Amino acid sequence: MKSLAEVRAKMGEEYKQKFTRARVVVGLGTCGIAAGGDKVMKALQAIVAGRVLDIDVDFTSCIGMCYAEPTVEVALPGEASVIYGDVNPENVIRLIDEHVIGKKPVEDMAILQIVENGAKAYEGITLMEDYDFYKMQVRTVTSRLGRTNPESIVDYIATGGYEGLEKILSGMTQQQVIDEIKTSGLRGRGGGGFPTGMKWQFTHNSPGDKKYIVCNADEGDPGAFMDRSVLEGDPHSVLEGMIIAGYAIGADEGYIYVRAEYPLAIHRLNLAIAQAEEIGMLGENILDTGFNFKLRIKAGAGAFVCGEETALLTSIEGNRGMPRVRPPFPAVKGLWEKPTNLNNVETYANVPFIIRKGGEWYASMGTEKSKGSKVFCLTGKIKNTGLVEVPMGISVRDIIYKVGGGIQDDKKFKAVQAGGPSGGCLPEEKLDLPVDYDSLNAAGAIMGSGGLVVMDETTCMVDVARFFLNFTQAESCGKCTPCREGTKRMLETLTRICEGTGKPEDIETLERMGRVITKTALCGLGQTCANPILSTMRYFKDEYLAHINDKRCPAGACTELLTFVIDKEKCNGCGKCARSCPAGAITGEKKMPHEIDITKCIKCGACLAGCKFDAIYKA
Amino acid sequence: MACTCGCSNNTIDPKQQALQELLQKFKGYKGAIIPVLQGAQDIYGYLPKEVMQQISKDLRVPFSKIYGVSTFYAQFHLKPRGRNIVRVCQGTACHVRGGKKIFEAVEKVLGISEGGTTEDLRFTLETVACLGACGLAPVLMINDDTHGRLVPGDIQGILEQYE
């Protein structure tokens, strides 16, 4: 077998060179770019070129702190790396003048510092391991995110990349690889939680000389973006995981099915594949061992149901992406009727780490039945939105309050939605649940892909249930009646409740329909579509009753149930509300309190937005 | 097809040529329908009926199947679209952070509703279930550019950047 030693030594040297010069690194994941990271990059390049400075300007992906985007890292040789947040094209010059040239970090913009490889720490800047957002995190899958250049294979190999592949090819049998994964206790990170080692074993055992490896990168859950972050931040780890799976199972071909909404992820995957082929990690006769593996990217075409495994496979084959009845499972009859192993992005990305450090190491993290760590996306009404990786078993409360910093604007917590349209909403009293597959299931939510959307007192739970139903109804493929017709009827009922024409019997109807659809739908999309309704009815029944019986929305979110009122004490008669009202519903004399005619009011809220004296409120 | 009107312009339509190259590239490729339709849509901006007929003939797949696939996926469009595609995210995170108001602001500025295209073909307005930039909610995407942390007042200025 050909060894990677020479390539690794050469790339290691090249990687070390990076740290001999001053470096300024911009976070350019999709989120960083959306927050203006590319403009910061351009400004930086202009400064460096204009002043002919000896500075290395590089980029990385998202380090996870979406709330502080765009982020920039500055490091001088031998000194700690300082991460700066909320950088813009105007203030980036300070990083150059004060930190790079003046050798003094810009304290008011610095968020934290990372001390590695014997570097010298700065005084007065929080260490990453002491910083609240990272204190409870364990970074495995996300360890390269925001730290290496995702478009450079040099960075990947110099940080231990392809060591796992080299290790299995230098003497492990297929069974040994599968056993290592079994030892690790890794379970499917796409949400189902099926033991990965067992899945590999099934596909390995299925008869047939042609087998496929497929990566499900069709992340479509609203509120989840961990797969995008991993693909954009560490694409090689996904490739390496897939190649290892290919070897273990006996497959020579793989597909990555990735959402077309993720153009940057597709771009970086394409680059990674080309680089891996160039150094012989992918393609024919890998490392001279006679093992062949080729990878192709398939861009999805916009259908949420394609995240379901059988629908995904039929979509790769070029058909309408509709699910089919299982069994036979893809492990027996998958892509083009051949045995196929299908895992999610995060699952594959864990594999190289498990092989390199051993299954035992991985199993030492987490709980008895849920091992390792899980990446979550914190979004919604939370202070620190972003990407976090925590050990399994940590409580939801710790994730929200310690890692996430609590609720935005110090409002009252109401619920956290876990698992997207297939998941459920957990109330305050469930916050101490440990995060693992089984506890979340028992509480009526699911781990799902790992999206956590935090909601405060201004969010209406009936409206949230309607939101998800609207989504599943639009995304139902229409193949089976329970899902096609059932989601429509449930949506109609929820809409009526939100509009104030709900009837007392609606609650029972929703429960019954939910039960029937759960039991009879063909695929996971239909079977779980009632979860958001059932969980909100379980924990927030009062809100449903208020909508139905009192025609009132306690959260003040359902427009049809609101009345806009002018506070006569506060109104000074400036007339701005009357001018902004498109329906002519507001009248009053100058400098005298105005009034709203509720029969004319269309509840658009224009008056509320326009009032400078907080004199208009919703009741 | 060569021009038959007698004018001097008898060169092959560049779009047609690109389509031919695309079909050539995917000849004998398993599961070619979706990538070919995606490629054809990149060339024409949408999927004209004649193009779909040509793909059906070339890939030897019934036209009904081509039509079935192209109407199943949200990404395919059978009508001409604007030069700039505005996709407003309506995901959960955007929803709880005011995504609806952003959508209404875009509707107001462009004077079109969901799925609509402005008369000058400058913009097409769509919604999307999630763009995966939830940390910056609410967000919208114009062509391949993502804009985040929006308030309704930003919309006019952002749209003006696109011709």
pLDDT, residue A180, reads 97
pLDDT of A604 > 80? The answer is: no
Compare CB distances from B146 to A34, A317, A471 and report the shortest one's residue: A34
ipTM of the complex: 0.87
Yes or no, beta carbons of B135 and A220 under 8 Å apart:
no
Same-domain pairing of A334 and A239: yes
Q: Does residue B2 lie within any of the structural domains? A: no
Q: Do B93 and A222 touch (CB under 8 A)?
A: yes
Band (A359; pLDDT cuts 50, 70, 90) = very high
Judged by DSSP in three states, A445 sits in coil
> Which residues in chain B are closer than 8 Å to A228, comparing Cβ atoms?
132
Q: Report the chain B residue with the minimal C-alpha distance to residue A221.
A: B130
Give me the residue label for tokens 């009132």. A552
> By residue range, what is the domain housing residue A409?
373-456
Q: Residue A401 — pLDDT band, cuts 50, 70, 90?
A: very high
Whether A265 shows a pLDDT value over 60: the answer reads: yes
Q: Is B98 on the interface with A (CB under 8 A)?
A: no
Residue A465 to chain B, least CA–CA distance (Å): 11
Residues A487 and A353 occupy one common structural domain: no
User: Is pLDDT of B4 > 70?
Assistant: no
C-beta atoms of A420 and B92 within 8 A: yes
| CB-nearest partner of A381 from B96, B144, B145 | B96
- Do B95 and B67 lie in a common domain? no
Quick one: closest CA in A to B98, which residue? Answer: A380
B134 is in an annotated binding site: yes
Check pLDDT > 70 for residue B160.
Answer: yes
- Answer whether A77's CB lies under 8 Å from A97's CB: no
Q: Does residue A224 share a domain with residue A273?
A: yes
- The beta-carbon neighbor of A317 closest among B31, B144, B145 is B31
Q: Is B7 annotated as a binding residue?
A: no
Neighbours of A428 (CB within 10 A): 13
Q: Are A556 and A462 in contact (CB under 8 A)?
A: no
Q: What is the mean pLDDT of residues B18-37?
A: 93
CB contact under 8 A, B96 and A453: yes
Neighbours of B118 (CB within 10 A): 16
Contact check, Cβ <8 Å, A67/B75: no
Is beta strand A340-344 parallel, antiparallel or unpaired with respect to A386-391?
unpaired
- A177 and A318 in a single domain? The answer is yes
pLDDT tens string A218-254: 988 888 899 999 999 999 999 999 999 999 999 999 9
Q: Return the residue of B nearest to A605 by Cα.
A: B101
* Host domain of residue B50: 14-72
Task: Give the closest-approach CA distance of B71 to chain A in angstroms.
Answer: 9
Checking if the pLDDT of A393 tops 50, the result is yes
Helix, strand or coil, per DSSP, at residue A592: coil
d(CA A127, CA A108): 15
Other beta carbons within 10 angstroms of residue A134's beta carbon come to: 21
- Alpha-carbon torsion, ordered A481, A527, A553, A539, to 10 deg: 150
CB contact under 8 A, B130 and A67: no
Q: Which residues, including other chains, have CB under 8 Å from residue A430's CB and lie 6 or more apart?
A: A396, A443, A539
Average pLDDT, chain A: 94
Question: Do residue A429 and residue A468 come from a single domain?
Answer: no
B138 prior amide bond cis, ω within 30: yes
**B24 with B47, same domain?**
yes
**A207 is a domain residue:** yes
CB–CB of A380 and B147 under 8 A? no
Boundary (domain end) residue, out of A525, A549, A573: A549
Question: In the structure, what pLDDT confidence band is assigned to residue A326 with cuts at 50, 70 and 90?
Answer: very high
Closest CA to A342 of A451, A241, A435: A241
Q: Is the pTM of this model over 0.90?
A: yes
Of the candidates A609, A559, A616, the residue with the CA atom closest to the CA atom of residue A588? A616
Contact flag B31-A298 (C-beta cutoff 8 Å): yes
Backbone torsions φ then ψ of A229, nearest 5 degrees: -65, -40
- The answer to whether B3 is annotated as binding is no
Inter-chain CB proximity A223 and B134 less than 8 Å: yes
Q: Which helix (H) or strand (E) holds A134?
A: helix A132-135
Contact A72/A27 with Cβ under 8 angstroms? yes
Interval B133-157 mean pLDDT? 89
Question: Which tokens go with A521?
Answer: 């739908």
Does some domain include residue A11? no
Q: What is the pLDDT of residue B7?
A: 54
**Facing residue for A261 by CB, picked from B32, B131, B147:** B131
Q: Name every residue whose Cβ is closer than 8 Å to that of residue B98 and which is 6 or more positions away in sequence.
A: B138
Instruction: Report the pLDDT value the prediction gives residue B2, as an integer from 0 to 100.
Output: 47
Distances (CA, A) of A600 to A406, A596, A603: 40, 8, 9
Regarding whether B91 and B65 lie in a shared domain, the answer is: no
Q: Considering only CB atoms, which chain A residues are within 8 Å of B135? A: 31, 66-67, 69, 225, 377-379, 385-387
Judge if B90 and B151 occupy the same domain. Answer: yes
* Longest Cα separation, chain A: 90
H helices of A308-381, where? Answer: 309-316, 345-357, 359-363
Q: Is B49 on the interface with A (CB under 8 A)?
A: no
Q: Say if residue B67 is in the same domain as residue B104.
A: no
Q: Which residue among A336, A385, A387 sits closest to B30, beta carbon to beta carbon?
A: A336
With respect to residue A434, please indicate whether it lies within any of the assigned structural domains: yes
pLDDT score, position B124: 94
Where on the phi/psi map is residue A347: left (φ > 0), alpha (ψ -120 to 50), or beta? alpha
Residue range A199-225, pLDDT digits in tens: 999 999 999 999 999 999 998 888 889
Token reading at B93:
């995170």
Find chain A residues with C-beta within 8 A of B97's C-beta: 380-381
Asked if residue B78 belongs to a domain, the reply is no
Chain A closest CA to B63's CA: distance in Å? 13
Residue B129 to residue A222, Cβ atoms within 8 A: yes
Q: What local confidence, expressed as pLDDT, does residue B9 receive?
A: 56
Q: Examine the domain organization and report whether A251 and A354 are in the same domain.
A: yes
pLDDT of residue A223: 84
- In this complex, do A35 and B32 lie within 8 Å of one another by their Cβ atoms? no
- What CATH number does the domain containing A587 carry? 3.30.70.20
Q: Kindly determine whether residue B132 and residue A225, on different chains, have CB atoms separated by under 8 Å.
A: yes
What are the φ/ψ torsions at residue B86 (nearest 5 degrees)?
A: -100, 120
Task: Give the number of domains in chain A.
Answer: 5
Using a CB-CB distance cutoff of 8 angstroms, which residues of chain B are in contact with residue A403?
A: none
Query: For an interface test with A, which of B58, B70, B96, B104 has the most A Cβ atoms less than 10 Å from its Cβ?
Result: B96
B126 inside domain: yes
| B6 falls within a domain | no
Classify residue A386: in a domain, yes or no. Answer: yes
Q: Does the annotation list B130 as a binding residue? A: yes
Whether chain A has a CB inside 8 Å of the CB on B136: the answer is: yes
Average pLDDT for A474-503: 95
The residue from A439, A456, A473 where one domain ends is A456
- Sequential DSSP letters for B68-106: HHHHHSTT--SS---SEEEEEE-SHHHHHTTHHHHHHHH
Identify the pLDDT of residue A107. Answer: 95
A280 plus A343 within the same structural domain:
yes
| Chain B residues touching residue A558 (CB < 8 angstroms) | none
A494 part of a folded domain? yes
**Which pLDDT does position A191 carry in this prediction?**
81
Q: Is B153 in the same domain as B97?
A: yes
Using the beta-carbon criterion (under 8 Å), do A451 and B134 form an inter-chain contact?
yes
Which chain A residues have a beta carbon less than 8 Å from that of B96? 380-381, 453, 455, 459, 464
DSSP B16-61: HHHHHHHHHHTTT-TT-HHHHHHHHHHHHSS--HHHHHHHHHHHT-
B61 and B98 both lie in a single domain? no
**CB-CB neighbors (< 8 A) of A471 in chain B:** 129
Check residues A153 and A446 and name the one with the higher pLDDT: A153
Q: Please state, in angstroms and rounded to a whole number, the distance separating the CA atoms of residues A415 and A457.
A: 9
Q: Which residues contact B63 (CB under 8 A, 6 or more apart)?
A: B52, B53, B56
Q: Which of A16-20, A83-87, A130-134 has the lowest mean pLDDT?
A: A16-20
Contact by Cβ (8 Å): A583, A600: yes
pLDDT at B130: 79
Task: Tell me: do A242 and A357 sit in the same domain.
Answer: yes
* Interface A-B: count of C-beta contacts within 8 A: 148
Which of A496, A526, A549 corresponds to the end of one domain?
Answer: A549
Residues A43 and A158 in one domain: no
Strands (E), A20-89: 22-27, 55-60, 72-75, 81-84
Q: How confident is the model at residue B11 (pLDDT cuts 50, 70, 90)?
A: low
Name beta bridge partners: A74. A24, A82
The two tokens of residue A184 are 């690790």
Co-location of A333 and A228 in the same domain: yes
Number of domains chain B is built from? 2
Residue A513 within any structural domain of the chain: yes
Give the span between the Cα atoms of A105 and A97, in whole angstroms. 10
Q: What is the CATH number of the domain that holds A403?
A: 3.10.20.600
Report residue B5's pLDDT band, with 50, 70 and 90 as the boundaries.
Answer: low
Q: DSSP letter string over A381-397?
A: SBSS-EEEEEETT-BHH
The answer to whether residue A8 sits within a structural domain is: no
| DSSP assignment of A189-237 | TTTT--BHHHHHHHHHHS--S--EEEEEE----TT--HHHHHHHH-HHH
CB B134 within 8 A of CB B94: yes
A472 and A529 in contact (C-beta within 8 Å)?
Answer: yes
Same domain, A382 and A241: no
How far is A608 from A589, CA to CA, in rounded Å? Answer: 19
B29: contact with A, CB 8 A cutoff: no
Do residues A164 and A220 share a domain?
yes
- Residue range A521-531: mean pLDDT, rounded: 94
- CA separation for the pair A578, A596 (Å, rounded): 9
pLDDT tens per residue across span A297-311? 999 998 999 999 999
Residue whose C-alpha is closest to residue A233's, from A165, A298, A158, A142: A142
| Domain shared by B55 and B97, yes or no | no
The answer to whether position A145 is within a domain reads no
Inter-residue contact A319 to B61 (CB < 8 Å):
no
CB proximity list for A6: less than 8 A, separation 6 or greater: none
Instruction: Specify if B7 maps to a domain.
Output: no
**pLDDT, mean of residues A256-278:** 95
Instruction: List Cα–Cα distances, A297 to A156, A253, A260, A294, B72, in angstroms.
Output: 20, 11, 11, 10, 20
**Phi-psi category of A409—alpha, beta or left, where left has phi over 0 and alpha has psi -120 to 50?**
left
> In this structure, are residues A15 and A155 in contact, taking their beta carbons and an 8 Å threshold?
yes
User: Has residue B8 got a pLDDT over 80?
Assistant: no
Q: Residue with structure tokens 């405060």? A: A456
Q: What percent of chain A has pLDDT over 90?
A: 83
Return the pLDDT at A601: 85
- What is the chain B residue with the closest CA to A322? B72
Residue in A31, A425, A531 to test binding to B, most B beta-carbons within 10 Å: A31
Identify residue A9 by its one-letter amino acid code.
Answer: A
Identify whether residues B23 and B67 lie together within a single domain.
yes
Amino acid residing at A199:
K
Residues B61 and B95 in one domain: no
